[in-house]
Amino acid sequence: MRVLLTGAHGMVGKNILDCNLSKEYQWLTPSRDELNLLNYNDVFRYIQQHNPDLVIHAAGKVGGISSHNEHQFEYFSENLRMGENVVLGSKNNSVKKLINISSGSIYPDLDNKILCESDLLTAPVNSLTEGYSLAKIAILKLCTYISNEYKDYQYTTVVPSNIFGKWDNFGSDAHMLPSIIKRLDSAKRNKLKNVEIWGDGSAKREFLFAQDFSKFIFDIVKSLDSCQVINLGYGSDFTVLEYNQIIADVVGYKGKFSFNLDKPVGNKRKLLDLKQMKSLNIWRSHSIKEGIKKTYDFYLKYDRRGR
């Protein structure tokens, strides 16, 4: 099977390729210089020339919560254009199978409710990431409409919980877990007695180790005709304080935590319903602590000293 993987050089894409245990896949992995996803004509011609059997759309503009809030236009515009170009470029070249990788941020702010696929558009999304979320919702709907109206097309959207792992972004615009790993590793090395947590530490989050997510993607490839939208995750979450404590144990940080109540924290809770996923017999391989340990080992080897 010939597979076009957009975003192959990003964190999610690299983990998907790293998890490819089967020789049945022939990968097309263009870089940004080789394929401009913001240009429809470029995307259409690339797909026409290489004729993939399956497209996995993993590319996207992503960042931390502050960046999302401050640059709503960029997150909306770029993710919308990339997604539309990839989906329509595939459809207009008669590519019948596509996996669109979305985000749990597409779901509304429904605190303390486990979110199932039917909760989409039942209430507003979080305002801090609204631009990104609306773009992802639009592409999800585009895939759904194509699958509904063209019966031989199987365009499935997967909605993972927050992904972390090898090749993550540990910079100033990092997501929560890599940011905590970097901060606590630095605090340990600099012998800091206190580390600040945004908010009161009570907000709960679900995270998914990228290696497990990649395995799930290969399972989904075998079941594209079973679902149009499917949540992927572990079905369990921890508070922000608990993640800090788990990472402190992995890193070896012995100090204390303080709380900055003036910082944004987003939803109080966002946990995904996994009934569909479990019906396909898709199961995890790592505990959250095991995933964090492997991510920290990667950070020590590659990121701390600079890649």
Q: SS3 of 273, please? A: coil
The CA distance from 63 to 269, in Å, is 19
Using alpha carbons, select from 283, 206, 296 the residue that is nearest to residue 243.
206
* 132 belongs to the catalytic site: yes
Amino acid at 249: D
Residue 287: phi and psi, rounded to 5, are -75, 165
Residue 207 backbone dihedrals phi, psi, to 5 degrees: -120, 150
Token duo for residue 255: 């100090």
Distance CA(206)–CA(239), nearest Å, equals 9
Tokens of 22: 């089967």
Angle at 41 (CA atoms; ends 36, 46), nearest 5 degrees: 65
CA-to-CA separations, 254 to 108, 186, 239, 247, in angstroms, rounded: 37, 12, 19, 11
Measure Cα distances from 223 to 7, 91, 158, 226, 281 in Å: 22, 19, 12, 5, 11
Q: Within a 10 A sphere around the Cβ of 11, how many other Cβ atoms?
A: 20
State how far the Cα of 157 lies from the Cα of 183, in Å rounded to an integer: 33
- Rounded CA-CA distance 30/130 in Å is 29
Cα separation, 134 vs 75, in Å, equals 9
Among 46, 75, 107, 132, the active-site one is 132
Nearest to 239 by CA among 271, 205, 266: 205
Catalytic residues: 132
